[in-house]
Amino acid sequence: MQTRREYLAGLNPPLAKAKARGRLSREATAEIERAIASGMKFSDVHTGDVDLLVTDPGPAVYKPLPPQPEQRSIGRMVGYDSDGHEIASDICFRCTYHVNLCSCRSGIKGSSSIARWSEESSQYGAPIDVPSGT
């Protein structure tokens, strides 16, 4: 049994290419309808008398999400270097996550260039690891 395209490619003149893809022309579609009406069967045409096999995929399996770190609502940490210049940081220098997503048990670690934290940063209640020996 041949496909519709193979049939059309075998006609003289051929109305389609055998291994091509895409839509068929009006003439090719009309020729296929004439061939089906005259009793020809094609391997790529499904009739209603064949039940398609449908397998049951089973119950849906949901995988749990990995635990997410507890979020803080700090935004950024502000500190001062030994000369008194303000330094702002929004990442933990231990785990390199944003300070809101840092899950370090000993708290957010600041840059080694920060000599002291501002009162604004220490009011958030998050444990802050102040670098030693600057």
Average pLDDT value for residue range 27-32:
92
Query: Range of 109's domain?
Result: 69-134
In the chain, how many domains are there? 2
Q: What is the pLDDT of residues 35-85, one digit of tens each?
A: 999 998 888 866 555 555 666 777 878 888 777 666 666 667 777 878 888
Structure confidence at residue 123 (pLDDT): 53
Domain presence at residue 50: no
Residue 49's contacts (CB-CB under 8 Å, 6 or more residues apart) are: none
Q: Is residue 132 part of a domain?
A: yes
Q: Is residue 49 part of a domain?
A: no
Higher-scoring residue by pLDDT: 100, 5? 5
Residue 62: strand, helix, or coil: coil
Which pLDDT does position 68 carry in this prediction?
A: 67
Within a domain: 99? yes
Is residue 53 one of the residues assigned to a domain?
A: no
77 shares its domain with 31: no
Q: Which amino acid is at 80?
A: Y
Task: Please state, for a pLDDT cut of 90, what percent of the chain lies above it.
Answer: 11
| Whether the predicted pLDDT of 126 surpasses 70 | no
